[in-house]
Amino acid sequence: MSTARKQAGAELLEQLGKSGYGKPPLGCMQCGLCAATCPLGSAMEFPPRNLLLQAASGNLDKLLESPSLWMCVACYACSKRCPRGIELTESLWPALRDAAMQRGIQPPAELQETFQNVLKYGNVLGKSPRARLDWTKSLDVRVLDLSREPRPVDVLWLVGCYPSYYPRNQVVARAFARILTQLGVAWGILGTKEKAVGECDRMFGEEGLFETLVEDNRKLFDKYDFGKLVVLDPHAYRALQNFYPRFGAWYPAQHYTTFLAEYMEQLRPLMVKPVETVVTYHDNCCVGRRCGCYDPPRELLGLISGVKLVEMAHNRDDSLCCGGGGGGMWLDAHIVAHGGQRLSDQRVREAADSGADTLAVSCPYELSRFEDAAKVTGLEGRVKVRDIIELLAEAMDLGERSVA
């Protein structure tokens, strides 16, 4: 192997060591905890431990061309377990993906389409920006669109791509609008001007696209007077909390679970309707494992009379990923074609095994992933997938009749 090639891998790892994400990757002692904990590691040609070894040894070419480069679903399990504190999820994987694309290596076609949708339309679904407010059409509470009616608000709610466009998630968006209104929160949205926050693009390694979104969003956010950003998407939360500030774009942001948990006492008397169900809660990876926020979602569920909370075999920092992060949302076919499995299928079986009849979630990806998984595994009807927001809205008698 040429010295130049060997250096390319080591240099990349050395640069990452200085990036401010975790401890230097060259400090890896090859203990293998990362590979052992990776839910898709056994299917990867280069699971995390080997990824580091091969990069450090200069085997970058082989590694960047491997389909396993596009199999990480950003569950943070490797980063969480690494005794050396190496940030594989937010640093190593995106950097390698970026390096691959810079060399002209083509990402899976599904990802190319997603990137192009975000660049052209500002949303992952490739929908018209003008249709971003369609979810509000059947809404019975007032929506303040700051882009048309700028005024100071306490909460600037970034609705997100799926809740804005995807019919199943639009139900959740409407329920959240009703809850905010019921709580008397002064809230507004960006209307048709809203764009993707871009977490998934960065995790895919599309750093340039992410930078473009940060620049656009920053200009947009700075136009308005708001107290904090509130998001439904835990990925967006993570990006605003940790990636945006690296571009000098610092905005106070909260995921809706921690935001609503601050209204616990106001919410309690509003719970007027029992919801008789056994619920298990799926900890999403960003707010859960990455940020260690496990109690607020459970406390919110605990407010609802009739709800009995049970835990799945894997919960809290040991939670099993739905497989949708880091581009996984679009890469089920790629992952399965290369020997991996749909983690959402496994997770929904765990939910059924827990004895729950409701799988509660707090991430827009998870509704469709788990509902699909329930169909695939024959558990449809046995396990109902619902966002915490939907359960709260039902208990507050604010739910949509067709869904509740």
Partner 1 sequence: MNIAVVVRQVPDLIEPLEIAPSGTEFDFGSASFLLNESDDHALEQALLLKEAHGGHVTVVALDFGDVDNTLYTAAAKGADRIVKIARDDAPPPPRAAAVLYAEAIKPIAPELVLVGVQAHDELDGGVAPFLAAALGMPYVGVIRGVAVGAEPGAVAAFKEFPGAVMARMNVKLPAVLGILGADQPPRYVPVSRIRGAMKTTQFEESAAAAVSSEPLTAIARLYPPAAGSRAEMLSGSETEIASRIVDILAQKGLVK
The footprint of partner 1 (CB under 8 A) covers 98, 101-102, 104, 106-107, 109, 112, 115-116, 119-121, 126-128, 130, 205-209, 211-212
CA diameter of the chain: 71
Q: What is the CA radius of gyration of the chain?
A: 21
Between 201 and 390, name the residue whose CB sits nearer to partner 1: 201
| Shortest separation between residue 283's beta carbon and partner 1, angstroms | 32
| Shortest separation between residue 112's beta carbon and partner 1, angstroms | 4
Residue 119, classified by CB atoms within 10 Å of its CB into exposed (0-12), middle (13-18) or buried (19+), is: middle
Sheet with 187-188, side-by-side order of all strands: 187-188, 153-158, 226-231, 253-255
| Shortest separation between residue 98's beta carbon and partner 1, angstroms | 7
Between 192 and 242, name the residue whose CB sits nearer to partner 1: 192
Q: Which of 236, 301, 291, 217 is nearest to 267 (CA)?
A: 301
Residue with tokens 């339309």: 121
| Shortest separation between residue 2's beta carbon and partner 1, angstroms | 23
Between 198 and 234, name the residue whose CB sits nearer to partner 1: 198
| Shortest separation between residue 202's beta carbon and partner 1, angstroms | 11
Q: Which two tokens stand for residue 216?
A: 């656009």
Between 208 and 227, name the residue whose CB sits nearer to partner 1: 208
Between 130 and 219, name the residue whose CB sits nearer to partner 1: 130
| Shortest separation between residue 382's beta carbon and partner 1, angstroms | 19
- Residues whose CB is less than 8 angstroms from the CB of residue 277 and which lie 6 or more positions away in sequence, other chains included: 306, 307, 308, 357, 358, 384, 391
Q: What is the DSSP letter of 99?
A: H
Q: Which of 397, 398, 372, 399 is nearest to 383 (CA)?
A: 372
Q: Which of 388, 391, 361 is nearest to 374 (CA)?
A: 361
Between 62 and 130, name the residue whose CB sits nearer to partner 1: 130
Q: Which of 101, 55, 104, 94 is nearest to 72 (CA)?
A: 94
| Shortest separation between residue 128's beta carbon and partner 1, angstroms | 5
Helices 3-17 and 93-102 pack at an angle, to 10 degrees, of 130
Between 80 and 97, name the residue whose CB sits nearer to partner 1: 97
